[in-house]
Amino acid sequence: MTGKVTSITQVRTTARRRERQRSVNARTATTILVVVAMLLVVGVTAIISASSAVAIVEVSDRFYFLKRQLVGIGVGLAAMAVTSSIPYQTYRRWALWLFWISIALLLAVLAVGEVVGGSRRWLDLGPVNFQPSEFSKFAVVVALAAVAERKGRLLEDSGHFMGPLVLLVGLTGLLVMLQPDLGTTVVIGVAAFGVLLCSQAPLRYVIGSGMLALAAGATLAVSADYRMERIEAFLNPWADALGSGYQLVQSYFALGNGGLFGVGLGASRARWFYLPNAHTDFIFAIIGEETGLVGGLTVMLLFTLLAVAGWTVVRRAPDGFGRMLAAGITAWLTAQAAINIGGVLGVLPITGITLPLVSFGGTSVGVTMAAIGVLLNVAQQGRTEG
Partner 1 sequence: MAGRPPIRRRTARGRLVLFLFGLLSVWLGLGYRLFEVQVVRADEYREMGLNQRLTREVLAPDRGTIFDRDGNPLAMTIDSQTLYAMSDEVEDPTFVAQQVAAVTGRDWRALRERLIQGDGFVYLARQVEPEAAAKVLELDLAGVYSLEEPKRVYPQGAVAAHVVGLVDVDGKGLEGLEYQYDEILSGTPGEVVFERDRRGIPIPQGLRHVIPPVPGDDLVTSVNLTIQYAAYQACEEVREETDARACWVVALHAETGEVLAMAGAPGFDPERRIAEDGSTHLTNFVVRGMYEPGSTQKLITLAAALDTGTVGVDTVIPQVSDRIEINPGACRSPDDDIFGCFGDFSPHETVDMTVGEIFTRSSNVGTIKIAQRLPAGALVDYMERFGLGHPTGIDYSGEAPGLLDRPRDPHCNTCVPSAAIGYAVAVTPLQMAAAYAAIANDGVWTSPSLVSSRIGIDGKVSSFQPQTRRVVEPETAWVMRQLLAMVVSEGTGQLASIPGYRVGGKTGTANKLGDDGKYTDETVASFVGMAPIDDPKVVVAVVVDQPAYEYRTGGRAAAPVFADVMEAALHALGVVPDAVSS
293 three-class SS = helix
Binding partner 1 (rule: CB under 8 A), the pick from 152, 243, 266, 318 is 266
State the greatest distance between any 2 C-alpha atoms of the chain, in Å, as a whole number: 85
Considering the rule CB under 8 A, would residue 258 count as an interface residue with partner 1?
yes
Of 92-111, which residues contact partner 1 (CB under 8 A)?
Answer: none
Considering the rule CB under 8 A, would residue 359 count as an interface residue with partner 1?
no
What's the first-to-final CA gap in the chain, in angstroms?
28
Tell me how far, at minimum, the Cβ of 152 lies from partner 1, in Å: 11
Considering the rule CB under 8 A, would residue 293 count as an interface residue with partner 1?
yes
Binding partner 1 (rule: CB under 8 A), the pick from 65, 88, 234, 252 is 252
DSSP symbols for 142-188: HHHHHHHHHHGGGGGSHHHHHHHIIIIIIHHHHHHHTTT-HHHHHHH
Give me the phi and psi of 120, to 5 degrees please. -100, 95
Asked if residues 328 and 194 have their Cβ atoms less than 8 Å apart, the reply is: yes
CA distance 181 to 184: 6
Of 328-347, which residues contact partner 1 (CB under 8 A)?
Answer: 330-331, 334, 338, 341-342, 345-347
224 three-class SS = coil
Element (H, E) at 125: strand 119-125
Considering the rule CB under 8 A, would residue 53 count as an interface residue with partner 1?
yes
Tell me how far, at minimum, the Cβ of 113 lies from partner 1, in Å: 30
CA distance 324 to 194: 7
Tell me how far, at minimum, the Cβ of 386 lies from partner 1, in Å: 8
Of 121-140, which residues contact partner 1 (CB under 8 A)?
Answer: none
The residue among 115 and 297 lying less far from partner 1, judged by its C-beta, is 297
Site string for partner 1, 171-210 (x = CB under 8 A): -----------------------x--xx-x--x-------
Partnered with residue 185 across adjacent β-strands are none
Number of residues that bind partner 1 (CB under 8 A): 48
Considering the rule CB under 8 A, would residue 371 count as an interface residue with partner 1?
no
Please identify, among the stretches 3-11, 33-41, 133-141, 266-274, the one whose residues bind partner 1 according to the rule CB under 8 A. Answer: 266-274
CA distance 224 to 118: 13
Helices and strands (H and E) in the chain: how many: 13, 3
Binding partner 1 (rule: CB under 8 A), the pick from 21, 31, 129, 304 is 304
- The identity of residue 127, as a single letter, is P
The residue among 314 and 353 lying less far from partner 1, judged by its C-beta, is 314
CA distance 114 to 118: 10
Report CA-CA distances (Å) from 356 to 134, 142, 292: 11, 19, 20
Considering the rule CB under 8 A, would residue 255 count as an interface residue with partner 1?
yes
Binding partner 1 (rule: CB under 8 A), the pick from 42, 80, 270, 370 is 270
The residue among 228 and 293 lying less far from partner 1, judged by its C-beta, is 293
How large is the C-alpha radius of gyration of the chain? 22
Considering the rule CB under 8 A, would residue 257 count as an interface residue with partner 1?
yes
Report CA-CA distances (Å) from 252 to 1, 146, 270, 295: 75, 43, 10, 16
List residues binding partner 1 (CB under 8 A). 53, 194, 197-198, 200, 203, 250, 252-260, 266-267, 269-270, 272-274, 288, 292-293, 296-297, 300-301, 303-304, 307-308, 310-311, 314-315, 327, 330-331, 334, 338, 341-342, 345-347
